[in-house]
Structure 1
């Protein structure tokens, strides 16, 4: 009850945290949306009244239908024990069909691809405001410097910086609202844009108006991140804070529209409608606040990318790369490999596109795919919750039409840079597909045997003093889900590869649950004081620190007098010295002797090729490297049946 209450509880601190973490992406969209719309018009950068009123109307109703209704009202209900995001939603519904894994992979990969473009476009849009003061200032080195600094800070954690995010974003949103109101008062005719007729008129009657949806869509790209960060703040805080955030965003967009209407018939000529709202004396202060807001937006997306990768690992959709937890804050983690990939990607985007206006062409195409995939998963969830079929059909029709239109309109961006985000997304999809398919292939080919027939042999080996002792406590990581089974490869490793005599044998299995923060374990004594099996049930967001958890379990067993871990060497036993623990991790390699079907062969070759660049699994499990033995075992598939060998004399 308490946990459930915490997901919906509302507090001042929670509201501030929501402002700091959740709205970075969507909150910085006024920096570039109207510039992108005017640049895409029939006469690029010409300020026309019907264009301005129609575009502002489209933005207001997109924020209402897409962000408010779909995400804030509907999607936030689909929380997985308080956690949100496309993989959390997939974990809720994945038992409804294997095909849903493809939906989650497309959505997750597209969201990560979006993470490569958001920091460059946000920071570039903010820094380019300096041109209003110094027109010839080179912005690219400044943008790269800020982004590089931001990524270098990740390894220290964002706990300290995070505390300052909320108040800064409160200042940012207040500034958006005040600037907007100052121009609405001067030109209140812009309030006509609240009427959805102007949006319809733009899409139906303005030449090429439909294709402007690709630029309008930029106002809601952060809605998916809003859902992904649900676990940080809770739906109650998000819903209340969104009322304030949406109000300030709408005021700012209306203010930009008022300024544009005051200059209709003119060319924009590189001016930013956002910075044009500011009085000259405030410009440098405004640019400073905008830059910090853009950095916070980037930080939120980087943190979200780390969380996404960690979830993908637990769901067997990403290589088991090293995860670091730099602070004690729940859910805060650092993925070194992803940090490097994102940094290189962001720098590449800045160098390739140079200007934020060029980045707008690439931005938005990938995230429309994520939103469509979320709609599919959400439809499955609504069906699972027995929502009336009429309501589900209405939901599918409305959001299928809205997001389908956005996707079609965004496809025009493909030759102008949209291919960059799709290329990044496709690469990530390929890795996720290979990893998940390889997981199922390996699971199918792993041979399990009943452990019962080997218990007596283990006890005899444990007491056989003619065999030199390998370790006092020998711990094997096992993938066998049934406690009555064990991999045949582990039996081979103990008895044949090199007889491994130990006083106590431990078999450890990790079961990843569909709930995010489960932390449970079960101990089964297979042979008194000789063979134990421990099954950990860990949520898909729980850190895999098996070394630490295993010690905790052993301490509990000792305290309950269920096991004696004192060394059984006579001299050490008298001194009550604890015996040594040694972990064995079996790592499969692709054997030469195999007969794969073509697709599976390509998948496994790709899997093992990628695997050679990644640290071994013992590091992922958080095992102490000084006491770990990684054994390579072949993954033999259908050995070659006939060999044309001929004996000669």
Structure 2
């Protein structure tokens, strides 16, 4: 077995019952502090913080009057942005949703883990929301980076931006495997500079045209949506100002709700000042042609333009980085909730939250490059952006409503919350639907493909679990002891370890018994059966040991949180070391010559990998699900890599998955 540098803080469930299901000790930065506030700025506000780059451009384009700056449009748009950030981001997410933390962790899958026992239908809600959030991760890097780089056209009108954007995005994905520990330390100060710049530029123009302050009156938002031609449909563009709210909730565990709430005061103030500044600039140019100018870059003095573009580009890269790492975390959670294939996960550093998923990194890179090549301009990407994330927010609202009921919040308040946000987000969704033929179908197609994968994986998990045959362990204890002492059979391994899905200590899969006794008798000195249970808490790390036969048969059950790295090889070694230290087991080799030298016996893991048997006759729906499941399985790593097992000591055995064998076989004997 591999020798680890760091031993994880596993806790014996038997000796620490009082910590059953407890989450991790909170990191220092989750307490409210200057460092924590700076970390929050760097980690969670990248997406929502770069929205001023493109929101007003999208609204003006959506109004179909890009060459005529209209006062009703400007005041109404700024008012809509202000009240969207207030109702959607501040009230729903910062004040309400952050309370729905799962041992300090946030995000749609963490919220689902809190409420999933209240109805199987909630898995569909989580799948749709998670898939839409991942689809958003494909659109965000291209639109953020493109919006920043296109500012160069104010200085170099003919510059080709597409190659630059693709180069930045490709470089961003290539460095993911090294982790972002060093770069991450600089994110906070850089984003502080970015938000300070947003506020300063906004104030500069508000002072010149304070008339824009009238937009704080919600009447102007009402006037735009109800009285302005096609005003309601502009909500699809207005919605872009709050797309990062879901990412804010997902990163709760990195910063803590206190740091998020306090830092949001600064962030929201900077965003509002900049939006009002853009509105003030637009009011200063009423009835003038826009000539393709960006309201954001128009705020900058000419001498500051290149500096501003550079800062905007770095902020866009940080926003992209946050979405990429968020996607990795989302996939890791989905895996442990049986909603995603068990792909390989890497942990490039020891920092909490540092995760790299090679397969997802490649998929996101290809998706982002495809989006850039297809849309080419950020204004075109706006049509694809927002539609998917609206679905995520609606799904979060559903899960949050169930969570509020579980917390026994007063019924009228729960109903009021559900109705209010169903109306708000339903309106955003309806307005976003006009984007479908103009590019919105791209994000929905990506999200739909991800929904398909998640559905197939979860459905296949339940089909396999239903059809896995378990037998009582007790009748096989004595045969295992006899096999262990049968010297007429060559020894397979000193220690033989099987991964078992049996939740009950008294049971074992019949396939494991078949593998030990019949497929090829596997004689070992000690048999170990290891079961991994994923808990609804994010960072549970517990284990318990059952001695089924003294010094011959042991069962170890790991209880790991849905955000814990599945390094079973390392954890198993730690448990065995504890057992040896407590003199509960002797792992010295039982070969006479090696025993005298006190040599530790070898360990071999056996992983049973199922394949679809040709002897099957089952319902069409299940047949399609299982065929899709095994087709996807061809393109992913085997389970031994996912569980972190040392490949030099692992034996993978193929076993048939028989759904339902044909009931009648029409064979006739002839002479």
Instruction: Specify the SS of the correspondent of 2:383.
Output: helix
Instruction: Specify the SS of the correspondent of 1:424.
Output: helix
Q: What is the aligned partner in structure 2 of residue 71 from structure 1?
A: 93
Q: What is the aligned partner in structure 1 of residue 207 from structure 2?
A: 185
Q: What is the aligned partner in structure 2 of residue 213 from structure 1?
A: 235
Instruction: Indicate if the aligned counterparts of 2:29 and 2:36 stay in contact, CA closer than 8 A.
Output: no
For residue 638 of structure 1, report the CA deviation from its aligned partner: 1.7
For residue 397 of structure 1, report the CA deviation from its aligned partner: 1.1
Q: What is the aligned partner in structure 2 of residue 224 from structure 1?
A: 246
Q: Residues 599-618 of structure 1 correspond to what in structure 2 (within 5 A)?
A: 599-618=621-640
For residue 7 of structure 1, report the CA deviation from its aligned partner: 8.5
State whether structure 2 residue 129 is matched by structure 1 residue 100: no
CA distance in 2, matches of 1:396, 1:569: 68
Q: What is the aligned partner in structure 2 of residue 530 from structure 1?
A: 552
CA distance in 2, matches of 1:608, 1:100: 25
Which digits, 9 at most, give the CA deviation of each residue in 1:103-154, with x for residues without a partner? 0000000000000000000000000000000000000000000000000000
Instruction: Specify the SS of the correspondent of 2:525.
Output: strand
Q: What is the aligned partner in structure 2 of residue 438 from structure 1?
A: 460
For residue 5 of structure 1, report the CA deviation from its aligned partner: 9.2
The equivalent position to 1:473 in structure 2, one of 495, 517, 526, is 495
Q: What is the aligned partner in structure 2 of residue 149 from structure 1?
A: 171
Which digits, 9 at most, give the CA deviation of each residue in 1:430-451, with x for residues without a partner? 0000000000000000000010
The equivalent position to 2:261 in structure 1, one of 219, 229, 239, is 239
Does the C-alpha gap of structure 1 residues 45 and 566 become closer, same or farther in structure 2, counting only changes over 3 Å? farther
Instruction: Specify the SS of the correspondent of 2:175.
Output: helix
Instruction: Indicate if the aligned counterparts of 1:7 and 1:236 stay in contact, CA closer than 8 A.
Output: no
Which digits, 9 at most, give the CA deviation of each residue in 1:349-404, with x for residues without a partner? 00000000000011000000000000000000000000000000110111000000
Q: TM-score, normalised by structure 2?
A: 0.96
Instruction: Specify the SS of the correspondent of 1:185.
Output: helix
Q: What is the aligned partner in structure 2 of residue 449 from structure 1?
A: 471
For residue 594 of structure 1, report the CA deviation from its aligned partner: 1.1
Q: Residues 540-619 of structure 1 correspond to what in structure 2 (within 5 A)?
A: 540-619=562-641
Q: What is the aligned partner in structure 2 of residue 33 from structure 1?
A: 55
Instruction: Specify the SS of the correspondent of 1:535.
Output: strand
For residue 4 of structure 1, report the CA deviation from its aligned partner: 6.5
Which digits, 9 at most, give the CA deviation of each residue in 1:38-79, with x for residues without a partner? 001143442100000000000000000000000000000000
For residue 647 of structure 1, report the CA deviation from its aligned partner: 1.6
For residue 325 of structure 1, report the CA deviation from its aligned partner: 0.1
For residue 596 of structure 1, report the CA deviation from its aligned partner: 1.5
Instruction: Specify the SS of the correspondent of 1:412.
Output: helix
CA distance in 1, matches of 2:596, 2:177: 46
CA distance in 2, matches of 1:363, 1:38: 16
CA distance in 2, matches of 1:4, 1:118: 30
Instruction: Specify the SS of the correspondent of 1:594.
Output: coil
Does the C-alpha gap of structure 1 residues 457 and 617 become closer, same or farther in structure 2, counting only changes over 3 Å? same
Moved more, 639-648 or 564-573: 639-648
CA distance in 1, matches of 2:149, 2:378: 10
CA distance in 2, matches of 1:330, 1:201: 48
Q: What is the aligned partner in structure 2 of residue 489 from structure 1?
A: 511
The equivalent position to 1:166 in structure 2, one of 188, 191, 209, is 188
Q: Which runs of 5+ in 2 are unaligned?
A: 1-22
Q: What is the aligned partner in structure 2 of residue 316 from structure 1?
A: 338
Q: What is the aligned partner in structure 1 of residue 426 from structure 2?
A: 404
CA distance in 1, matches of 2:530, 2:25: 29
Moved more, 2-11 or 515-524: 2-11
Which digits, 9 at most, give the CA deviation of each residue in 1:299-321, with x for residues without a partner? 00000000000000000000000
Instruction: Specify the SS of the correspondent of 2:382.
Output: helix
Instruction: Indicate if the aligned counterparts of 1:126 and 1:294 stay in contact, CA closer than 8 A.
Output: yes
State whether structure 2 residue 60 is matched by structure 1 residue 17: no
CA distance in 1, matches of 2:406, 2:436: 36
Runs of at least 4 residues of structure 1 off by over 3 A? 1-8
Instruction: Indicate if the aligned counterparts of 1:547 and 1:621 stay in contact, CA closer than 8 A.
Output: yes
Aligned positions, number: 649
CA distance in 1, matches of 2:282, 2:327: 36
Which digits, 9 at most, give the CA deviation of each residue in 1:453-503, with x for residues without a partner? 000000000000000000000000000000110000000000000000000
State whether structure 2 residue 664 is matched by structure 1 residue 642: yes
For residue 270 of structure 1, report the CA deviation from its aligned partner: 1.4
CA distance in 1, matches of 2:139, 2:622: 33
Q: What is the aligned partner in structure 1 of residue 19 from structure 2?
A: none
Q: What is the aligned partner in structure 2 of residue 360 from structure 1?
A: 382
Q: TM-score, normalised by structure 1?
A: 0.99
For residue 3 of structure 1, report the CA deviation from its aligned partner: 3.9
CA distance in 1, matches of 2:323, 2:228: 35
The equivalent position to 1:344 in structure 2, one of 350, 356, 366, is 366
State whether structure 2 residue 228 is matched by structure 1 residue 194: no
Q: What is the aligned partner in structure 2 of residue 55 from structure 1?
A: 77
State whether structure 2 residue 283 is matched by structure 1 residue 261: yes
Aligned CA RMSD, in angstroms, stands at 1.0
State whether structure 2 residue 416 is matched by structure 1 residue 394: yes
CA distance in 2, matches of 1:2, 1:501: 40
Q: What is the aligned partner in structure 1 of residue 271 from structure 2?
A: 249
Which digits, 9 at most, give the CA deviation of each residue in 1:193-224, with x for residues without a partner? 00000000000100000000000000000000
The equivalent position to 1:140 in structure 2, one of 141, 145, 162, is 162
